[in-house]
Amino acid sequence: MARSIAAKLATGISLVFLAVGTPGFGLDIPNEVARGSNGKPFLLRVSRGFGLNVSFLETGEVITKAWLDDPSRIVFSVEGNLCPTGQNCTSKVSQIIHLKQINPIDFPQIPSSADKSTLLTVITQKQGKKRIYSFRVVPVQSNGGDNLVNILSPNSQPVTVSSPVPTDFPELNIPNIPRQEVRVETPPPIPSPVPASSPPSFKPLPTSSVTRHLTNGEQADFLVSGLMWRKSDYPRRSGQWRRINTAIALLRQGESLNNAAIKAKVPLDELQSLVNFARGRNSDLIRTNAQKPLSFLD
């Protein structure tokens, strides 16, 4: 009984560690993705009891207006004042929005969506230029939500390409090389292999190798954990770190892993390797923690 409870708690703790990561670990979102330029609002997941911060500090923009279409489950606050459009605000401006869940409130005149999600619209301003950002906010029951989302400035994000294969190649200047006669001797024929007396036997794949297909959101979560565990290979804010964050953002918007790799300009096998690494690391944590008895049950 105690061992069963310990295993369940260890599994839950490991999954929470996988999805949330360490405190202060943020997700960097390309500017054009955050603005919904592809027609899809970026997905934000807000956990019960854990708030979510959306930061515009890197862009240098100030928030002039923000609203939620359905405030019955999600509320927001800002760290300063909203700067009215047309005014040159210099002090106590807001560049961070904090979202959190509340117990549902019944607003008879405000309909709710089927999945209880709502649209967050943010208007920002910088040097007289306004931008609009759209986010789809979803309340989640577990601790699998985000805790910090950084919006990148347009000039700091990796370039999105439509095809990973270049189509234009520069003309090569190859010098003329004198022709030489080369003799090639025909090798002797290779004898045919002796037929096997019995068909070869194949070992079945280990049970751990046969797993269900991951959803886009699960792949994105594993990539986030992979970046966290392999900080030495992917230094924060490095070029490849940013490109993988772009792939994570695209996965959150429903793109397949292959399309996310193409658009973020990241090799597909690198993303797959990072996902598999994080899955294996999480499985190791679950097995290790499940073998440790809980002190208060002994």
Which residue's entry shows tokens 């954990």? 225
Nearest to 157 by CA among 235, 225, 237, 236: 237
pLDDT value at position 17? 38
In the chain, where the domains are located: 21-105+113-155, 214-289
pLDDT value at position 121? 94
Domain 21-105+113-155: homologous superfamily in CATH: Protein-arginine deiminase, N-terminal domain (2.60.40.1860)
pLDDT value at position 29? 85
pLDDT value at position 25? 52
pLDDT value at position 87? 65
pTM: 0.56
pLDDT value at position 118? 94
One-letter-per-residue 3-state SS of 46-104: EECCCCEEEECCCCCCEEEEEEECCCCCEEEEECCECCCCCCCCCCCECCEEEEEECCC
List the pLDDT tens digit at each of the 298 positions of the chain.
444 444 444 444 433 333 333 333 568 888 888 887 777 888 898 988 888 999 999 999 999 999 999 999 999 999 888 877 656 666 678 999 999 999 999 998 888 888 889 999 999 998 888 999 999 999 988 766 678 899 988 876 444 433 333 434 344 454 554 555 545 455 566 555 555 444 444 344 343 433 458 888 888 888 888 888 888 888 887 888 888 988 888 888 788 899 889 988 899 999 999 999 888 877 655 455 444 444 333 3
At residue 74, what are phi and psi to the nearest 5 degrees? -125, 135
pLDDT value at position 270? 92
Report the distance separating Cα 158 and Cα 263, nearest Å.
Answer: 10
β-strand pairing of 96-101 with 62-68: unpaired
Consecutive H or E run containing 20: helix 2-20
